[in-house]
Every structure is written in structure tokens, then in C-alpha cells.
Amino acid sequence: MKNTLKLAVAAAALAMSGAAWAGSNDGKIQVKAMGTLVAPDGKITSIELDNIGLPAGTQTKADDNFVPTIAAEYFFTPNISLETICCVTQHDVTGTGPLAGAGLVSDANIIPATLTAKYHLVTGSGFKPYIGAGPTYFIFIDEKAGATAQALGATRQKMNDKVGFALQAGFDLPLNDKGLGLSVDAKRYFVNTTARWFAGQTEVLRTRHRIDPWVISAGLAYRF
């Protein structure tokens, strides 16, 4: 509910800006306020250090989250643009298999700093589909050892910031002739990270994980 309220406020501000700035469907700049589903993988790809005795066959998964997202886009031509997004998404990592439901990582906040180059297809109508791709940098903030990891002796947890890549597809659809529109967007990220657990200052567990989230967004756009 809190995130939905934030999104509603952002969308209302965007709409009011549209009325005040007299935008254009052919403007150079577009901003978006969207609701976004972040659905990561989280599986272990390798165990590099294990001094706490994980059961054989232990695997992990990360939970999904729904967050508000702001995007800004600049059109160099009617077909070519550059877009960046801003959001913070929070996830827990739990065990599957022998450790099903076990809390391993708690409240990992991620800033997925992303820049994509987009190509907008010409359709001869207001409907404007696009594809895109570009680099991303995942920044992890304030992650903690989960309850089960603490019970196994871990007092601190750290995820490595990591560079990755994103593919993108979606469409924009004008709602009026003053720059206000609907935007639907899907991104697939390809990012791996290393997770480390510590007992005091001693590293006791180190695993590699596939993050690779789907990021699906929909909301209002304003172009001017």
C-alpha cells in the first residue's frame, strides 16, 4: 500500500506537469512514473567457501517485489533514444531443497543503475513499440544475514556490487496530443553476484548467485 501511494502521487504530479508544461508527443524528453514488478532468480551457481556445513543439495531463491519507478529518456531522433531508470528494490533470499524456507539474506536493498539505448519502430500510428539494450550496475545496500544464517553462526552478510547487462522491450501509447501517454516496459537483466557471510571478521560462507531478474513496468509517461 505504501508503494502504491507513492506511485499514485508521482503519477498525479506527472499529469499536473503535463497540463502546465504543454508537452508534445514528438518532444525530445520523456519522463515516466510506473509501478514495477521485480522478479529475481537468486539461485546458487557455485559454493566457493563453506565453513558452516550447508547440507548437500542446498539451493536458494530470491523473493519478488513491487516498487515505484521513475524513468527519464532523451530522443536523439524519432527512432533513437537513451533511457535511465531510478528505483530501489528490497529482497530476501531463502533456501530451497534441504534448507527450504531458511532465511539466508534479509532486506537486501538493490539500486539497479541502468542505461539503455532504444530503437523505436515506425508504425504509422501513435502506438510506438521499441527494443533496447545496455549496461547495468547493481548496488547492494544494508543487506543482513537471515535468521537461519545467524543461527548457523553468521553475524554479518555482504553482497558484491556487480556490472551486468539488460535487454528491453515495450511500447508507448499517447493518451492525448499534449505529451501524456501510457508506457509498458519489460527488461531482462543478466547479473551474477558473490554473497559472503561472516562470523565477526571471519568469512565463513561464500557463494555465487545468478540474479537475472525480470523487471516489468507499466504507468504514465509525459513527453515534452
Is the pLDDT confidence value at 205 over 80? Answer: yes
Is the pLDDT confidence value at 17 over 80? Answer: no
Half-sphere exposure of 62 (CA within 13 A, CB side): 28
Is the pLDDT confidence value at 62 over 90? Answer: yes
Q: How far is CA 201 from CA 128, 148, 185, in A?
A: 53, 19, 43
Dist CA 110 CA 17 (whole Å): 29
Supply the pTM of this predicted model.
0.86
Cell numbers describing residue 31:
519522463
Is the pLDDT confidence value at 69 over 60? Answer: yes
- Helix H or strand E encompassing 94: strand 89-96
**pLDDT for the residue numbered 20:** 46
Whether the CB-CB separation of 129 and 123 falls below 8 Å is answered with: yes
% the chain with pLDDT above 90: 80
**What tens digit of pLDDT does each residue of 97-141 get?**
998 999 999 999 999 999 999 999 988 888 999 999 999 999 999
Sketch out the chain's domains with CATH numbers.
2-223 (2.40.160.20)
**What tens digit of pLDDT does each residue of 152-176 get?**
889 999 999 999 999 999 999 999 9
Map residue 186 onto helix, strand or coil. Answer: strand
β-pairing, 214-223 vs 180-190, is antiparallel
